[in-house]
Amino acid sequence: GDSVTQMEGPVTLSEEAFLTINCTYTATGYPSLFWYVQYPGEGLQLLLKATKADDKGSNKGFEATYRKETTSFHLEKGSVQVSDSAVYFCAFGTASKLTFGTGTRLQVTL
């Protein structure tokens, strides 16, 4: 069935380090792909999205590229900040619903 697999956390990085959070999906058809972020005490908010193969979504220094051949949508940021500490969710969307991964907690320290 449809599913999203993302790397388990927590991920702990020093400020200005490079971030990668892996995400792969299994879905029929050609879904759209999303990264959502949840800051402490808040609901989820959309970070970026890509709607077709080879699209690159970007926002706030984060990037992810829709790789159809590897069914992946890995999240990257070149230099993380303490304010990026949050839980990151990979998701894909079809015409009927959104399917989320289990989330990856990122902790950035000074």
Partner 1 sequence: DVKVTQSSRYLVKRTGEKVFLECVQDMDHENMFWYRQDPGLGLRLIYFSYDVKMKEKGDIPEGYSVSREKKERFSLILESASTNQTSMYLCASSRRLTGNTEAFFGQGTRLTVV
Residue 10, preceding bond cis, omega within 30 degrees? yes
Nearer to partner 1, 17 or 85 (CB): 85
Note whether 34 and 98 are within 8 A (CB): yes
Task: List contacts with partner 1 (CB under 8 A).
Answer: 30-32, 34, 36, 41-46, 49, 51, 89, 93-98, 100-103
Nearer to partner 1, 46 or 82 (CB): 46
Within the chain, how many helices (H) and strands (E) appear? Answer: 0, 12
Minimum distance, C-beta of residue 79 to partner 1, in the bound complex (Å): 26
